Amino acid sequence: MSAPEARTATRRDPEATRVLLEKWLHEQLPQADGLRVVAQDGPSATGFSNETLLFDLSWRTGGHDVQRPIVVRCAPTGEGVFPEYDIARQHRILELLAETEVPVPRVYWLERDDRVLGVPFYVMEQVHGRIPTDNPPYHVGGWVTGIEPAERTALWWSGLDVLARIHQLDPAPFEWLDTPGRAVTPLERQLDAYRDFLRWAARGRPQPTCEAALAWLDRERPREQAPVRLCWGDARPGNMIFREGCVVAVLDWEMATIGDPQSDLAWWLFLDRHHSEGLGAPRLPGFPSREASIARWESNTGLRADQLAYYEVFAGFRFAVIMIRVAQQLTDSGFLPADSRFETNNIVTRLLARMLDLPAPE
């Protein structure tokens, strides 16, 4: 998934995957002489909604050697975090964004047929740089703790400016991303979708914090139609690649939709709060304040963040629903005991309960 998650070593056989991929790539590049695929050193990353495999691709053409590091993004095997997972949808988003000023990796090929690797997948370029860590969260561990405050400031502003750039795009080419449903507004349709998500994830088990938050969201829902824009859906530094404090690529678009862009700003702020306050840790020096961040986003987009408090609760609720499925996956894979209460009592649900003055999760 794209929300911060526990990650495990890849469940695939690296050599078997390499052989299958090399055979498939020969079909995509029939004129490439001596094409070879070599798995990169170190474990590939796999979460619970997708698997990311890293390879070096090389061949010879016109008397010249060509080397290309690639990323293979695979749909989940079996039941994932989300009720549905459309790898072709993500591929199409990246294709469209490549025509804009939003920096994204170049996509090369899409394979819808699951007979190649067992699941659909796409191949994209590997963008070099550094990604702020979610495990450990970047306020308490990882390379962000070791850089100067000025670079943290640059990192934050660069990320927030790119987020604003997404919200300045013409939404027309992305209208097909609108959440399906019978409700009138995008927000209402998203609420209905997450209502179904909660029901599917909980499988009859009580989810007191999520259920109370959803009731609040229904009750306090803004009545005025907000400007509709492309929403990234998982807006956070941990989904960006940085070089020298500047964003060079925006990753993970599986939660993208059309709606009020305040939802992205709220997710950005909530995730940062999750990585600091949620852990009982202070924000690192150099990271701009909430107030300054809101003001900069408003200035860059020409939009108002007048419903931000509502969308921060919505962010917490969405993340909490996702954590139900993450907890189940962790239990199924043996990382958590069968009697764990992690799906109802975690950093997200504790923050959400605090925001709404609800009883602390037990």
Cα separation, 62 vs 190, whole angstroms: 51
Give, rounded to a whole angstrom, the gap between the first and last alpha carbons of the chain.
26
Could you read off the pLDDT tens digit of each residue along the chain, which spans 362 residues? 333 444 444 567 888 999 999 999 999 999 889 999 999 875 454 445 678 999 999 998 888 899 999 999 999 887 789 988 899 999 999 999 999 999 999 999 999 999 999 999 999 999 999 999 999 999 999 999 999 999 999 999 999 999 999 999 999 999 999 999 999 999 999 999 999 999 999 999 999 999 999 999 999 999 877 889 999 999 999 999 999 999 999 999 999 999 999 999 999 999 999 999 999 999 999 999 999 999 999 999 999 999 999 999 999 999 999 999 999 989 988 999 999 999 999 999 999 999 999 999 98
Q: Where are the domains of the chain?
A: 8-125, 143-355
Q: Structure tokens of 311?
A: 């969308």
Do domains 8-125 and 143-355 share one topology? The answer is no
Looking at domain 8-125, its CATH superfamily turns out to be Phosphorylase Kinase; domain 1 (3.30.200.20)
Fold of 143-355: Aminoglycoside 3'-phosphotransferase; Chain: A, domain 2 (3.90.1200)
| Peptide bond just before 136 cis, omega within 30 deg | yes
Q: Are 348 and 360 in contact (CB under 8 A)?
A: no
pTM: 0.94
How far apart (Å, rounded) are the C-alpha atoms in residues 89 and 94?
9
DSSP state of 284: P
Other Cβ atoms less than 10 A from the Cβ of 33: the count is 12
User: In this predicted structure, what is the pLDDT of residue 11?
Assistant: 63
Residue 176: which residues within 8 A CB-CB, separation 6 or more?
none
pLDDT at 279: 96
